[in-house]
Amino acid sequence: MVGESPRSSVVPAPSAAPFQPPATVEDLLERCGGRWLSLRTLVTISNGEEGWDQSESAQLEFSWQPTEEGPELGVLRLHGTRQVDFQLHMAGGAQDREGHFEGNDGRSGRWRFGRDHVLQLTWRSGALQFEERIWFSKANLRLRSRTISCSSDPSAVQACAFYSEIRRLQR
């Protein structure tokens, strides 16, 4: 039509690719690398009416170093600012869904990578059993939960903690 202006064609901005959870335990461990702001809530279960809880934040730095060959998948390191680095040696095949781990602090236990894309670590220390679950809800948001219970009765929970960790991006 004469005298009408052409319609402007609006091109939508490209959207970021949708979040894909880690497909393997190696993928999850690789995503753990980097600098993180960690917020932890700790609840200690007591027999009284009131439990005791505590919240704290920390700056954490992790690195993942995969192994070329052999039964070990690699080493996840938590770099300490005031203490020696913590190292977690993960063993099992690359496509395995379970295996074992050993820490340089003497802890050792089993890991399992579930179909829900959650890494579950379990270990014992004396009369206590620990279970930690690690998962990503976004590319830069890692969540962890830990329960501490009696080895003789895993339903007897002594304490639990929840961690919300946000990746610190480089500028």
Q: What φ, ψ does residue 147 adopt, rounded to 5°?
A: -120, 145
Name the average pLDDT for the chain: 86
- 95-148 residue pLDDT tens: 678 999 999 999 999 999 999 999 999 999 999 999 999 999 999 999 999 999
Half-sphere exposure of 147 (CA within 13 A, CB side): 11
* Interval 47-76 mean pLDDT: 83
Closest CA to 79 of 124, 136, 34, 25: 34
Is the per-residue pLDDT at 11 higher than 90?
no
Tokens of 69: 């060959």
Domain-by-domain residue ranges, the chain?
Answer: 25-167
Structural contact between residues 60 and 36, judged by C-beta atoms closer than 8 angstroms? yes
pTM here? 0.83
Percentage of the residues of the chain whose pLDDT score is greater than 70: 82
How many residues does the structure list for the chain?
171
- How far is 122 from 114, CA to CA, in rounded Å? 13
Q: What architecture is the 25-167 domain classified under in CATH? A: Beta Barrel (2.40)
Q: What φ, ψ does residue 124 adopt, rounded to 5°?
A: -125, 150
Closest CA to 125 of 150, 89, 162, 91: 150
Assign 5 a pLDDT band (cuts: 50, 70, 90). low
Closest CA to 17 of 138, 116, 167: 138
- 20-49 residue pLDDT tens: 999 999 999 999 999 999 999 988 876 665
